[in-house]
Structure 1
Amino acid sequence: MRRYEIRDDQWEKIKDLLPPERKPQGGRPPKDHRHMLNAMLWIARTGAPWRDLPEYYGSWSSVYSRFRRWQIAGIWDKILEHVSIEPDWESVMIDATIVRVHQHGSGAKGGASKQAIGRSRGGLTTKIHAVVDALGNPLRFKLTGGQCHDSVTGYEMLKQMDLTKKQVLADRAYDTNQILHLLEQQSATPVIPSKKNRRKLRKWDKEIYKERHLIECFFNKVKHYRRLATRFDKLASSFKAFLTLASIMVWLA
C-alpha cells in the first residue's frame, strides 16, 4: 500500500456507499473506485495541483471529474453521515479556525463572499466552523469568510442541534447572551469562560473545559491535509468536499 492510501478495513466500511462501478463502453476501461479514492487522498494530503497527480493514478482529469461528480451527487456527505452514526454525546465542542487562501484560490465566479472568502488580518482567508463530539470526532461544519465572528455562525450551528442536557464546550468568543439563552432553553450546560468585559462573571467547570483541546486536535488532524491547511480551491464546494473527505478519514482512523 502506498503512502496516504486507504487501508483495507477502512475501505470495507465505505465501499458499498459509492455509486456502482461503470461498465466499460469501449476505449480505455475506467479505474476502480478505490484507486480513484486513493488518488483523491493523494491530492488532499499533498496539496498538489490536479495536473501534478502521479501517472500511477491515471488521468488527473478523470480523477477530478469523479471527485466533482461525487461532490455534486452528495456522496461525500452520505459517507460522512454513515460513519458518524454513533457519536459520543456526553458533550459537544464548537470552535473555528482560519485558513489562508492561496492566490490561485481566488477569482471564482460570483465573488469572494459567495465562495466563503473574506479579508481579515491575515489577508484573504476562509474560516472553518466545526462542532465535534466528546471524542473530538466531527459532527458538522460550515465555511464563511475569515472576517465572520465565531459566535454569529456558532449560534446558527448550535440552533440546528439537539443539545438537551448536554455539556457545550467553547472558548470565551462564544460567551454571548444569545448563545447562553439558547443553551438555557435546552437545559444544556455551558462550559464557556466569561468574557473579561462581563459585569458579573459566570461560573464554569475548569476541569471539564480542559477537554476542549479535542476540537483543536480535530483541526490539527484535518490540516495534515495540505489542501486544507491552505486553500487552493476557487470553489467553496470543492474545498468543503475535501474537508468532508478528511473528516471521513478522522472517523475511520
Structure 2
Amino acid sequence: MKRRYEIQDDQWKKIKDVLPPERKKQGDRPGTDNRVMLNAMLWVARTGAPWRDMPEYYPSWSSVYIRFRRWQIAGIWDRVLEHVSIEPDFESVMIDATIVRVHQHGAGAKGGSNLQAIGRSRGGLTTKIHAIVDALGNPLRLELTAGQRHDSVMGYEMLKSMDLTQKQVLADRAYDTNRILQLLEEQEATPVIPSKKNRRVQRKWDKAIYKERHLVECFFNKTKHYRRLATRFDKLTCTFKAFLTLASIMIWLA
C-alpha cells in the first residue's frame, strides 16, 4: 500500500545499493527493511512531527531515529547525495541563502547557539541555509550558519571549494564583494552579479541570464515543503543538516 510522502519504486532503485546492508536477524526479530525505515524518516521530514508521533504502521520511533542518526554519523546521507548528483548541468551555477526560524525546542543545546548554527537576526533565533545549485536548480553544495552571518562570507568559502572555470556564476547583490569577484576572475568564471548601489563603478551584467537565478529560489521553496526544514526543531546542527541532505536527495530523484 502506497502512502503519502513515501519513496517511489523508480527512486528507490537508484539509491538502494548505496545504503548499508540490512542487518541480519537478531534473535527472533528480523532486521527492518531499509525502505520502510527511509519512508518513516521521510514522513518525519515532510510533516515536521516529533519522532514519537510516528504512525503505528511504521517501526518504533526509537528504531527509526537510531538508524537515521547512525546513517548521519557514518556519512551515508552525503554519500547518497553524491551518488544521485553525478550529472549536474554546469552551464552555470547559482548561489544564495535563506533563513529558517528556530523553534523554541530547537534552542538550548549543550555548547551554545554559536556551535549549533543558531543566531539572532530580525526574525529572532534563526539558522541560515547556504546553497549552490546547478543550471537546473539541483543542489551541489549545502552549508549552515547562524542567521546573522552575511551571505557573502560563507558564499566565498563555498565558491572557493568548487571548480568554476569558464562557468557563469549567478548571485544577487549580497555577493558583490571584491573577494568573490577576484576569486571568479582567477578561475576565469563570469560573474552575473548586479553591482551594489554604492559602488562608484557599476559593472555590466547580463540581465537575461540573471533571470535564471530564480531556480535557486525554487530549490529553497522545494526544501521548505519539508516542514522539518521550514522550521528548525532539531537542537543539533548535524541532525538538521541530515534532513536538508535527505530533502536534497529527493529533489535530485524527482
TM-score of the pair, normalised by structure 1: 0.99
Q: Secondary structure of 1:23's match?
A: coil
Q: Counterpart in 2 of 1:201?
A: 202
Q: Distance in 2 between matches of 1:28 and 1:124?
A: 43
Say if 2:253 is the partner of 1:248.
no
Aligned-residue sequence identity (percent) comes to 83
Runs of 4+ in 1 over 3 A off after TM superposition: none
Measured against aligned partners, the alpha-carbon deviations of 1:204-232 in whole angstroms (never above 9, x if no partner) come to: 00000000000000000010000000000
Q: Which amino acid aligns with 2:128?
A: K
Q: Distance in 2 between matches of 1:198 and 1:150?
A: 18
Aligned ranges 1:202-217 → 2 under 5 Å: 202-217=203-218
Measured against aligned partners, the alpha-carbon deviations of 1:115-150 in whole angstroms (never above 9, x if no partner) come to: 100000100000000000000000011000000000
CA apart distance, 1:27: 3.8
Q: Which amino acid aligns with 2:52?
A: R
Measured against aligned partners, the alpha-carbon deviations of 1:139-193 in whole angstroms (never above 9, x if no partner) come to: 0110000000000100010011100010000000000011000000111000000
Q: Counterpart in 1 of 2:100?
A: 99
Q: Secondary structure of 1:89's match?
A: coil
Q: Counterpart in 2 of 1:152?
A: 153
CA apart distance, 1:242: 0.2
Aligned ranges 1:8-19 → 2 under 5 Å: 8-19=9-20
Q: Counterpart in 2 of 1:89?
A: 90
Aligned ranges 1:112-131 → 2 under 5 Å: 112-131=113-132
Q: Distance in 2 between matches of 1:26 and 1:164?
A: 56
TM-score of the pair, normalised by structure 2: 0.99
Aligned ranges 1:3-152 → 2 under 5 Å: 3-152=4-153
Measured against aligned partners, the alpha-carbon deviations of 1:7-55 in whole angstroms (never above 9, x if no partner) come to: 0000000000111111112143232000000000000000000000001
Aligned residue pairs, count? 253
Q: Distance in 1 between matches of 2:162 and 2:6?
A: 34
State the superposition RMSD in angstroms. Answer: 0.6
Q: Distance in 2 between matches of 1:69 and 1:113?
A: 24
Q: Secondary structure of 2:140's match?
A: strand
Q: Which runs of 5+ in 1 are unaligned?
A: none
Q: Distance in 1 between matches of 2:42 and 2:77?
A: 13
Q: Distance in 2 between matches of 1:21 and 1:159?
A: 38
Whether contact under 8 Å (2:22, 2:32) holds in the other structure is no
Q: Distance in 1 between matches of 2:146 and 2:30?
A: 41
